Amino acid sequence: MQELQNMVEHKEGFKNILVLNCGSSSLKYEVYKMPHRQSLGKGLIERIGEKVGKLVQTTDKGEIRLERPIPDHGVAMEIMAKAVVDPEKGILYSLSMIDGIGHRVVHGGEKYSSSVQIDADVIRALEENIELAPLHNPPNLTGIRESQRLFPGLRQVGVFDTAFHQTMPPAAYLYGIPREFYDKYRIRRYGFHGTSHRFVSARAMELLKRNPENTNVITCHLGNGASITAIEAGKSIDTSMGFTPLEGLMMGTRSGDIDPAIIPFLEERGYSSKEVLNILNKKSGLLGMSGISNDLRDIEKAAEEGNQRAVEALDVYAQKVRKYIAAYCADLVKVDAIIFTGGIGQNGFKMRERICHRLENIGIVMDYEENRKNQSKEGAVSMKYSPITILIIPTNEELQIAMDVFEILFKPTDAMKRRSTDVYF
């Protein structure tokens, strides 16, 4: 019955969007029915290129689990396609019901300030940006090329992590280094997590019933990777990540901001530049400071048991976030809301308390009882008299990608807008 309904709706103009996030050894996917913004099912393929790969797909019909060798992304895409149309637990009746594909792409460089339909020029630009994102753009390109092979003629859209931050002024994106490094090598601050910051800031406008044109917000995407963005009138004017995702906040395993002279200091003591970079990216942050884990829950448990290194790791994390919030409050002049999202931002109610404590003097007044009661649900956790509203908003980058694909490829008619008003925010 559900399959029949999906087919009827598909004929009536509703679109099924396949969202792909292709990593170096993984493939994450989800199918959305638009403009309903309804997830029909999602899956994750891991350990691509290893001895045994793994697929887990979940729909309202149940779960598909599969373990087998998955030598490359081409095979992963074929496995995904079969799972999507599985007769018993599939997402769709037929692959022909997929109307468009959206790709999460990490680095669009300076060329793209919004999502775009993928063509030869876009692919060429992504290839040119490989030097800026050597770990991410190659698998993103692989996902695009394999989609072209598996779904010939189907239109695709690229959604860039960096695009939202292309509105930053030179004062925010230029480094205090010789200008020739920017002119020759494009060394500047690009920022990341843009799709998440864009999604939660737009959702905040719905919750606050405000127009972005006269609203300023600070979005805190706090997870294993973390970044903060200052958004003025709907546009990013500064963000904590820079030339790479290593700059900015202390994160799960990344150091965040450090004195750059530390790098040659360690190299003089026998560490290679590659080793230092690996330490700063994968062995620092909460993991490196605590010596316990990069999982906030493990560190909070250890802190409660009296582990001093865990306590210090939590304090450093909160202090770094608080510093960026305060700096952006000064830069924006007027701030209407602070938004917490990401795994830690949404679920770490104790960390939210640590961060907001001592920010009362700049108008950020948390309702600690509401914060603990709310835990991770969407909504406000500030005192009613707080000049700046504190919001928890779950992020959904996959949905934002599906929304972009629908907007770019299938701009809805007025008739469809009227029929679907009950499913929009």
To the query of whether residue 414 is one of the catalytic residues in this protein, the response is no
At 407, which helix (H) or strand (E)? helix 397-409
Q: Could you tell me the sign of the dihedral formed by the alpha carbons of 237, 243, 248, 250, in that order?
A: positive
Please report the DSSP string for 211-244 in residue order. -GGG-EEEEEEESSSEEEEEEETTEEEEES--SS
Listed residue (223, 294, 292, 222) closest to 253, CA to CA: 294
Q: Which of 60, 86, 121, 161 is catalytic?
A: 161
- Sequence-distant (6+) residues with CB within 8 A of 170 are none
Q: What are phi and psi of 133, to 5 degrees?
A: -140, 70
Residue identified by tokens 């020739």 is 180
CA dist list (Å): 192 to 89, 258, 274, 285: 35, 19, 23, 18
Distance from C-alpha of 377 to C-alpha of 332, rounded to nearest angstrom: 27
Sheet bearing 389-392, strands edge to edge: 235-239, 226-232, 216-222, 337-341, 389-392, 379-380
At 145, which helix (H) or strand (E)? helix 137-150
Tokens of 282: 């994968």
Listed residue (352, 64, 120) closest to 220, CA to CA: 352
Listed residue (241, 228, 128) closest to 190, CA to CA: 241
Residues annotated as catalytic are 161
